[in-house]
Chain A
Amino acid sequence: MNLLNSCAPVESIQVLRSLRFAWLSIVRQPARACLAILGVAAVGALLFDMLLLSRGLVLSFRDLLDRSGFDVRVLATDAPPFTGPRIADATAVTSSLAALPELEAVLQIRVRDAQIVEAAAEPAGPRARLDRVDFIGADPQVRSMWTIVQGEDLPDRPESAPVLIVNEHLARKYGITPGSELLLRGRCESLSEAVPAVRFRIVGIADFPFDSTTARTVAGTLSWAERLCAGEGQDRAEMLLVRSKPEVGAFTAAAAIRAAHPDLHVVTNDELIERFSRVEFSYFRQISAVLATVTLFFGFLLIAVLLTVSVNQRLGEIAALRALGLSRSRVSAGVLWESVMLVGAGGLLALPLGAALSVWLDAILRTLPGLPADLHFFVFEPRALYLYLLLLTVASLGAAVYPMRIVAVLPIAATLRREVVS
């Protein structure tokens, strides 16, 4: 009696057996397996980094914009902020916008150029006394875009005594702490004569979201920004930052502003992100796409070659297994699982490698001059991980196709004959 006739193969057990078989095939050649796994880890790390880079700047930029606490920006023209003309009659425009029901707050930003005349401590370096600072004038009654890290924020009274908050870089460089004094002189374009210096008391140290690592930024009230240049600004502001009401949203708020002031350029954070993503950051997206494709192709080739070599070395064994009754799909599945295991192991190893590499590359790229210190090139998001896993899965399946085909079409008898002759 054939005891097997009543025993139906169980699919799940077959899969487990295929997996174990693939695992044993891998570990029987540890050097080859290590080579494959390390190779996949190397290309996987690069692939992962390219995926982080592809949207890293956009995500980081969005984070910076969101951290400022405003979702709409109003400018005089569509020129980038601080490079184009200023908004005229800024006070009236601000009041007009603040009255719109869609808006929660409007913050007028006036940026003036100033020079340090005297500080709490002598900084290092021969030209340090000539340091210039960006003086941001803002309305202290509106919640500002900076984050206080030491001391306190500007007082709510617009016409208060001359007080300032400074950024961390400046504080470190000049030994400034809350309570220190800083003597500033405005550098005013239209005034041929030097204006009198103003002695400011420092009330706080703040983190400004768009500061570069070497930026020297201070912030004071609008009135003191004007007084630095003796009113040279003539009620003009670089930009108005607008916070829409949460129930309205930025899009509706922007539409309301455009309707009220069609002469002004209004842009939401989303629109800004979209523009940067399409224009300014597209270089990084393109380069990451090219490099990701190349690395993926190398990973695919590596696994395909190693599997093909491995299969070719085992043709006699595979033919014997087929002769013993293992089906075509069963031996092909073994090759597929080998590919999945090698790519899977290398792919998992690539994640910490890629993360470490991205931190290093990010640190290098962030040293580019003029970039906000908090802007990152490599930013993790779940989407990047999912895409990474998807691409590796496709690569492992693709790499297995050719060696699987070798196994599937293997002529059993001819191979056995050849093995004996060889």
Chain B
Amino acid sequence: MSTPIVEARNVSRVFPMAAGPIAALRNVTLRIEPGEYMGVVGPSGCGKSTLLHVLGCVDVPTGGDVLFQGRDVGALPDAERSRLRLREIGFVFQRFFLLPMLTAWENVELPQAEAGVSRAERRERTKELLAYVGLSARAGHRPSELSGGEMQRVAIARALANRPRLLLADEPTGELDQATGDQIVGLLDRLHADGTAVVVVTHDPAVASRARRIIRMRDGGIEEESIP
């Protein structure tokens, strides 16, 4: 059995609230293997995004352990977790979160520059990624000059900038129309086919159906796991 990219062991995440603590995750145990394509579905508030955040090392569990390539994420200092996210994990958000003052090219180049990739390598990689998402012609455009689908494709290219082992997408088609959403799903399919592990949180059954494994969540726990 290979080492999973990320593994959650009895993970809980409780948010302290004025009205009383809320358990967003309850004893979740999960392994994501290299090259896997997993969909996470469930009703709003069931803990899908929280699970994604915990798996992506942007949040730490209040109970249990998250191991990223065998390393206990909870024991890592913030700077180390940042480095891990920068180099090993790609994030795609529902609202894209592209930097509005940067062009598509610069947005894709940003994580590489932060990781210290040389200028020549960055140029090559950015060109390659924009071609991959079909936006070579829009490289010099700012987000305000792009459509929603184009922005999400730039966001995917940005997420792939440092060749992550794991791509986490939180409702990547949530703000897109059907046709544009299909393009994005097609892109995720290609990513998986190229060997990147993909985890997609979605409400959309059509998006989830493309995954090789589907986790259905309810009340912070895994209710059902299926292979479509």
User: A interface vs B, CB < 8 Å?
Assistant: 2-5, 7-10, 13-14, 17, 24-25, 27-28, 316-317, 319-330, 411-414, 416-417, 419-420
**What does the 1/0 interface line of B81-96 toward A look like (CB < 8 Å)?**
0111111110101110
User: B interface vs A, CB < 8 Å?
Assistant: 15, 49-50, 53, 56, 58-59, 78-79, 82-89, 91, 93-95, 97, 99-102, 110-118, 121, 158-159, 162-163, 165, 170-171
| Interface contact A324-B101, CB-CB below 8 Å | no
Residues of B with C-beta under 8 A to A323: 56, 58, 85, 91, 93
A4, A28, A326, A328: the one contacting B116 at CB < 8 Å is A4
- How distant is B88 from chain A, measured CB to nearest CB, in Å? 8
| Interface contact B53-A7, CB-CB below 8 Å | no
Residues of A with C-beta under 8 A to B87: 2, 4-5, 325
CA gap between A104 and B91 in the complex, in Å? 84
CA gap between A3 and B122 in the complex, in Å? 11
CA gap between A5 and B117 in the complex, in Å? 10
- How distant is B4 from chain A, measured CB to nearest CB, in Å? 17
Residues of A with C-beta under 8 A to B84: 325
Q: Secondary structure at chain A's binding surface: helix, strand, loop or mixed?
A: helix
Residues of B with C-beta under 8 A to A414: 15
A sample of 17 more A-B contacts (CB under 8 A), given A9-B115, A14-B114, A328-B78, is A2-B165, A8-B116, A9-B114, A24-B99, A28-B101, A320-B91, A322-B58, A323-B56, A323-B85, A324-B91, A325-B87, A325-B111, A328-B79, A330-B114, A416-B93, A419-B95, A420-B49
A3, A17, A330, A413: the one contacting B53 at CB < 8 Å is A413
| Interface contact A17-B113, CB-CB below 8 Å | yes
| Interface contact A413-B162, CB-CB below 8 Å | no
Task: Knowing A4-B116, A27-B101, A420-B95, say if A325 contacts B78 (CB, 8 Å).
Answer: no
| Interface contact B116-A324, CB-CB below 8 Å | no
Task: Considering the complex, give the chain A residue whose CB is closest to the CB of B158.
Answer: A324
| Interface contact B100-A324, CB-CB below 8 Å | no
Residues of A with C-beta under 8 A to B94: 420
Task: Knowing A3-B121, A324-B111, say if A317 contacts B99 (CB, 8 Å).
Answer: yes
Residues of B with C-beta under 8 A to A5: 87
CA gap between A321 and B59 in the complex, in Å? 14
By CB atoms of chain A within 10 A, which of B112, B118, B162 has the most?
A: B162
| Interface contact A2-B163, CB-CB below 8 Å | yes
| Interface contact B59-A326, CB-CB below 8 Å | no
Q: What are 12 inter-chain pairs, A to B, with CB distance below 8 A?
A: A2-B163, A4-B115, A8-B116, A9-B115, A9-B116, A13-B116, A25-B101, A320-B91, A325-B82, A325-B115, A327-B82, A412-B58
Task: Considering the complex, give the chain A residue whose CB is closest to the CB of B119.
Answer: A13
Nearest first, the 3 A-B pairs at minimum CB distance are: A325-B86, A320-B97, A413-B59
| Interface contact B97-A4, CB-CB below 8 Å | no
Task: Knowing A17-B113, A325-B85, A325-B115, say if A413 contacts B95 (CB, 8 Å).
Answer: no
CA gap between A238 and B15 in the complex, in Å? 86
- How distant is B173 from chain A, measured CB to nearest CB, in Å? 14
Residues of B with C-beta under 8 A to A412: 53, 58-59
Task: Knowing A4-B117, A7-B116, A17-B114, say if A316 contacts B95 (CB, 8 Å).
Answer: yes
Residues of A with C-beta under 8 A to B165: 2
CA gap between A321 and B162 in the complex, in Å? 14
| Interface contact A324-B86, CB-CB below 8 Å | yes
- How distant is A20 from chain B, measured CB to nearest CB, in Å? 10
By CB atoms of chain A within 10 A, which of B56, B95, B117, B170 has the most?
A: B95
| Interface contact A413-B115, CB-CB below 8 Å | no
Residues of B with C-beta under 8 A to A322: 58, 82
- How distant is A365 from chain B, measured CB to nearest CB, in Å? 47
| Interface contact B93-A417, CB-CB below 8 Å | no
CA gap between A100 and B179 in the complex, in Å? 105
Residues of A with C-beta under 8 A to B97: 316-317, 319-321
CA gap between A3 and B56 in the complex, in Å? 20
Residues of A with C-beta under 8 A to B121: 3
CA gap between A2 and B161 in the complex, in Å? 11
